[in-house]
Structures are given as structure tokens and as C-alpha cells.
């Protein structure tokens, strides 16, 4: 019991733990330990971000995907899904609406869709940059070559999100078909960092086959990569995947991991994810109170939102609709925070806003 509190203190002071310590901490966690952890997490969150929550407008550009990940609803084997691909003009229109709402970061996310050529993507990135000079562009389009990442960066992309999904090799093979490898995933992440992107990684909490041993690898890999952002959310089964009948991840463990990430890397950009908001109506508020400092409302056209179904019952109306910035802001205010109209960059320097 005492040991868990000591491990939390150690993580806060030294910003890393050994594998066995991670495992002990995760196995021995308790509601009391979580309370202790979240208090520390909020202290660091307040130190670097005050009560401001950064926003990113998420544009789900395409649900075509050449991959067949066993957990994902838009995997290529899902024949019952109606596929769509937004045209440049539609994406530009999402940005226009988003800008008026207050978004200063646009996240262009999609499956690995071969029909989006390098030229088309570079053209899109520079068009958005030309129209919205004060905005950041985040790409989340999967695994690409070094050259393609570089070209997109030179076209104006600022950030890239690519979750590693799991840092344990055999677990990686349980979640993915043989043509995908953890080595290439990691290669991509190190390439992105080397090129100069603000880089985000992350993983699902409670994916099939995940135990504290795997999570220890995830935390150690994150320490090694030193990303600027980490997106974590509960695994939520999707009915048209091989994992349809697997149990989902829990709010409790997701929140505990958010708290650990905040005290391990206090300046991290840490979203309270859509998946967390999907399995608990108060999920995002709880995420913020555990240390998260980013929300990513959906800016995709209403007509396609249902089709970007990574998992069952993914929220796509209500607060998830970017139109309800005000409502989301209200909810944040109820817990003592507010949405920021800002690019919300990673801060290398220490800036205390309180």
C-alpha cells in the first residue's frame, strides 16, 4: 500500500521508473492512490497550462484504409462500411467553419488511403496554411516514408499523430496483421521527430491481451521517444471486427494512466479523448481532472461522421459536434477550466500562466 505512494512520488521526482516498478504500480493501484496521483497531476497541469484547455478541430478526411488492424472499425475487411473521401474543397470548408468557431489547430486524420497522393496532400496543407496563417496543421494519416513525411512538413504541416498502439512486440502482432510491424511504426515516429514535427504517439487502454506488463513497455517507450503529445483512450469493441466480443477498456485505468503520463512528462499535450467521452458521459471532464489538457471536437461534415466509426457508438453529435464549442466550454467551466482560442503548441520554455 505504502509502496504505491512511494512509486508515485518517485515517478514525479525522477520522471521515470524501472519496468518492475511500473508493473508494481499498475497492479497495486487503488482509488486512494488515484486520488493522490490526480492531485499531483493537476498541480503540474495548472503550472504549465493554468486552467486553459487546448482545442483541436478534428477533420476525418477519409475512411478508406489499406490496413486490416483487428481492433479498428474502418479496417479494409469491413465490407459493411460505406466508404467516403472528402475533397479538398470540403476540407477547406471544415477549416473555415472551425476557424470561425475558435479553432486554431486542424487535425487532418484518415485511414491509410492510397488515393490521397503526396501531391494532393502537400497542396492541401499549403492551401490551409495560406488561408489560416495563425493556425497549426496536424496530420494523422498513418505510416509513410521519411520522404513523404519530410515533403508534408516542408509544405507546412506542424504536427503528426501516430499512436504506437502497443510497444510490446508480441502484443503488437496480436493486434495487427503480419504485414504491419512495431519496428516500422517506431521508425515512423523517430522519423517524424527528427524531421521536426511536434509528434504525438499513444495507445489504447484495455486492448485484448494488454496487461500491466504491456503497459509498462508503453510507458518506457514513451519515455524513450519523448513525444510532445500522447493520445490514450479505452479500447471499445467494434461489432464488425475480430475483437467484437472482447471486453472494452475501463475509465478507471485510462484516468490512472493519464495521471501517470502527466507527472512523468509535465508539459505533455494530453487529450481527453473521444473514446473516453464515448464510454462515460463525463469522461472528458474526468480526463481533464486526471491531468489531460486537450480536447479534440469533431469538425467533419455531419454527413460523414457516422461513417468514421473506429468503434461502436462513437460519439458524433452533442458536444462532439464542434458547433457546440459553447456547450463544451460550459462543461469545462463547471470543473474550473475553459477552452483556449490558441494554437496550443508544445512549450519548450517554462511558462506559468497562473
Q: Which residues bind ligand 5AD (CB under 6 A)?
A: 71-72, 163, 165, 204, 233, 235-236, 238, 275, 310-311
Closest CB 247 distance from ligand 5AD, rounded Å: 12
Q: Compute the Cα dihedral for 5, 7, 10, 11 and give only its sign.
A: negative
Q: Which lies closer to ligand 5AD via its Cβ, residue 41 or residue 279? A: 279
Closest CB 312 distance from ligand 5AD, rounded Å: 8
Chain-centre distance of CA 67, in angstroms?
A: 19
Among all residues, whose Cβ is closest to ligand 5AD? 311
Closest by Cα among 155, 158, 161 to 124: 155
Q: What is the distance between the alpha carbons of residues 316 and 294, in angstroms, rounded to a whole number?
A: 18
Q: Which lies closer to ligand 5AD via its Cβ, residue 99 or residue 308? A: 308
Which value, in Å, is the radius of gyration of the alpha carbons in the chain? 19
Mode of pairing for the β-strands spanning 294-295 and 52-55 = parallel
What spatial distance separates the first Cα and last Cα of the chain, rounded to whole Å? 34
Closest by Cα among 35, 37, 28, 20 to 2: 28
Closest CB 39 distance from ligand 5AD, rounded Å: 28
- Residues 6+ positions from 153 with CB-CB distance below 8 Å: 195, 196, 197
Report residue 136: phi and psi, to 5°.
Answer: -100, 145
Closest CB 75 distance from ligand 5AD, rounded Å: 9
CB 41 within 8 A of CB 291: yes
Closest CB 333 distance from ligand 5AD, rounded Å: 28
Closest CB 320 distance from ligand 5AD, rounded Å: 14
CA distances to 20, 170, 189 from 183, rounded to whole Å, are 24, 12, 10
Closest CB 142 distance from ligand 5AD, rounded Å: 9
Amino acid at each position: 500500500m505504502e509502496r504505491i505512494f512511494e512509486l508515485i512520488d518517485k515517478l514525479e521526482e525522477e520522471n521515470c521508473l524501472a519496468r518492475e516498478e511500473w508493473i508494481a504500480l499498475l497492479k497495486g493501484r487503488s482509488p486512494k492512490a488515484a486520488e493522490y496521483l490526480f492531485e499531483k497531476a493537476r498541480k503540474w497541469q495548472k503550472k504549465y497550462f493554468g486552467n486553459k484547455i487546448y482545442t483541436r478541430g478534428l477533420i476525418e478526411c477519409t475512411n478508406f484504409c489499406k490496413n486490416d488492424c483487428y481492433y479498428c472499425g474502418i479496417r479494409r475487411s469491413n465490407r459493411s462500411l460505406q466508404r467516403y473521401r472528402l475533397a479538398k474543397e470540403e476540407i477547406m470548408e471544415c477549416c473555415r467553419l472551425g476557424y470561425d468557431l475558435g479553432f486554431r489547430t486542424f487535425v487532418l486524420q484518415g485511414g491509410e488511403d492510397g488515393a490521397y497522393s503526396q501531391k494532393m496532400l502537400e497542396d492541401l496543407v499549403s492551401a490551409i496554411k495560406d488561408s489560416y496563417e495563425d493556425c497549426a496543421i496536424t496530420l494523422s494519416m498513418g505510416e509513410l516514408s521519411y520522404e513523404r513525411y519530410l515533403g508534408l512538413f516542408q509544405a507546412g504541416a506542424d504536427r503528426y499523430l501516430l499512436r504506437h498502439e502497443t510497444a510490446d512486440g508480441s502484443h503488437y502482432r496480436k493486434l495487427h496483421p503480419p504485414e504491419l510491424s512495431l519496428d516500422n511504426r517506431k521508425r515512423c515516429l523517430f522519423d517524424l521527430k527528427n524531421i521536426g514535427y511536434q509528434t504525438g504517439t499513444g495507445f489504447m487502454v484495455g486492448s485484448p491481451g494488454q496487461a500491466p506488463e504491456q503497459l509498462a513497455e508503453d510507458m518506457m517507450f514513451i519515455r524513450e521517444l519523448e513525444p510532445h503529445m500522447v493520445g490514450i483512450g479505452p479500447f471499445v469493441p467494434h461489432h464488425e471486427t475480430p475483437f467484437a466480443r472482447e471486453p472494452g477498456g475501463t475509465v478507471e485505468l485510462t484516468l490512472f494512466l493519464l495521471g501517470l503520463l502527466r507527472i512523468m512528462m509535465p508539459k505533455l499535450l494530453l487529450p481527453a479523448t473521444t473514446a473516453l467521452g464515448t464510454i462515460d458521459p463525463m469522461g472528458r471532464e474526468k480526463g481533464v481532472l486526471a491531468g489531460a489538457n486537450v480536447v479534440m471536437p469533431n469538425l467533419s461534415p455531419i454527413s460523414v461522421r457516422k461513417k468514421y466509426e473506429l468503434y461502436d457508438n462513437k460519439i458524433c453529435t452533442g458536444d462532439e459536434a464542434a458547433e457546440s464549442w459553447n456547450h463544451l466550454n460550459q462543461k469545462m467551466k463547471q470543473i474550473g477550466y475553459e477552452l483556449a482560442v490558441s494554437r496550443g503548441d508544445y512549450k519548450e520554455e517554462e511558462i506559468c500562466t497562473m
